[in-house]
Amino acid sequence: MKHLSSIAAIISLATLSACDSSDMPIQHADSYGYITFSAQSQKILTRTNPYEAYNPQRHPATMGVFGYQDNEAADPIFRNETATYNASTQSWPTPKRWADYPNASSFNFFAYMPHTEGATLKRTLNGTGILSFPFSMENATSPVIFDTKAAPIICALPISKGAITTENEDRVINLKFDQTLTGYSLSFRLDAKMNAIRHFRIHSVTLSGNLATSCTITRSYTWNNATNSWNASEIGWSDVQRAEFVDTPIPYKGYGSKAYDDATQTAIVTSAGYTQWGSDFFTIPDDAFTPKIKVTYDVELIAEDGKTMVTRKNATSVITLNKDNFGNLTTGKTAMINPIRILIQPRYLYVLADHDAYTGHLLID
């Protein structure tokens, strides 16, 4: 009986050894055989760890992809192919397979978001690739965007990849994307001369002017043979089209402090600090972005008994976002928010008693 037990033990060990063998087939994800992308996008405001993981709540849901095998290949693998984000795998799969290109010695991929018809990739003999795509504001009814999921982004660099030769090779194309629009925030503060018992209750803020509604976004990438890597140019905006806008609203947004009244959708502006009106918004980078900002507000006075009295109702003030007052604004820089800070300041002390609708003085940090 002991002899039989020893034989059984040897068989058991051999079975375990076979299970641990490196000859066992590797289990791959369903997307393993397909050309699949991942995405990171440029952070707003910071250059520290400048890219962050794709977030479907903040970024576009579709990607436009260009790709080709070998530098001399006549037919591209992707010609503005649409890739859609898959939340379950957190990736961007495509219907093309790596096995479809068994003779390729290299691959290059370019991308942008969101996918749009009319995007092009022009390649030149010196190895330059020029990626361009059209962009327009939604329905051209507003010169600004509040939803970053509608804001276009473009790849920081193309991805160059060698031939797929091994089973365990990383087959996902990891792309990084740069922001293309300029961001702004709009805040108000009272000059201290208007004293502590008076404040403004803002009802609405609008923009007017001849403002950009569409353009072509372009970036060129050049292959460096010495370093076997891509270099990227600055992002360019051309064919800028503008339209006349009158009193386009910057909608109210509450920020959870006492300054905001969600019931009436109003915000109180005092001399204690800046109060932001509305969400951050984004525009096509344009030196001609000089809108008139109109503010509708009540002037409220706190009486000796603590009650609030409205001394002026639905007053309006207008100020132009001109280069004299806003010389520090950088309309061409992306991935940052330009603070537009408006200090409401009276011309004369007696104005407080009657004519509070003053255009104000603009301050930029």
d(CA 73, CA 131) in angstroms, rounded, equals: 18
Task: Tell the burial category of 228 from Cβ atoms under 10 Å away from its Cβ (0-12, 13-18, 19+).
Answer: exposed
State the pTM of this model: 0.84
Helix (H) or strand (E) holding 14: helix 2-19
Percent of the chain predicted with pLDDT > 70: 81
Tokens of 104: 């390729």
Confidence grade of residue 15 (pLDDT, cut at 50, 70, 90): very low
pLDDT at residue 355 tops 90: no
325 closest CA partner among 286, 362, 365, 287: 362
Confidence grade of residue 287 (pLDDT, cut at 50, 70, 90): confident
Mean pLDDT is lowest, of 166-170, 236-240, 298-302, for: 166-170
Confidence grade of residue 275 (pLDDT, cut at 50, 70, 90): very high
pLDDT at residue 171 tops 90: no
User: What's the confidence (pLDDT) of residue 139?
Assistant: 66
pLDDT at residue 324 tops 90: no
- Number of CB atoms found within 10 A of residue 201's CB: 19
d(CA 113, CA 118) in angstroms, rounded, equals: 13
Mean pLDDT over all residues of the chain? 83
Q: Where are the beta strands (DSSP E) in 11-61?
A: 34-42, 51-53
Helix (H) or strand (E) holding 302: strand 292-302
205 closest CA partner among 260, 267, 139, 119: 267
d(CA 284, CA 179) in angstroms, rounded, equals: 11
Pairing type for strands 337-344 and 182-190 reads parallel
What mean pLDDT is predicted for residues 315-334? Answer: 80
**What confidence tens digit (pLDDT) does each residue in 125-148 have?**
778 999 999 999 976 689 999 999
pLDDT at residue 21 tops 80: no
d(CA 293, CA 247) in angstroms, rounded, equals: 8
User: What's the confidence (pLDDT) of residue 351?
Assistant: 36
The string of DSSP letters for 48-96 reads SS-EEE--TTTS-SEEEEEEEETTT-SS-SEEEEEEE-BTTTTBEEEEE
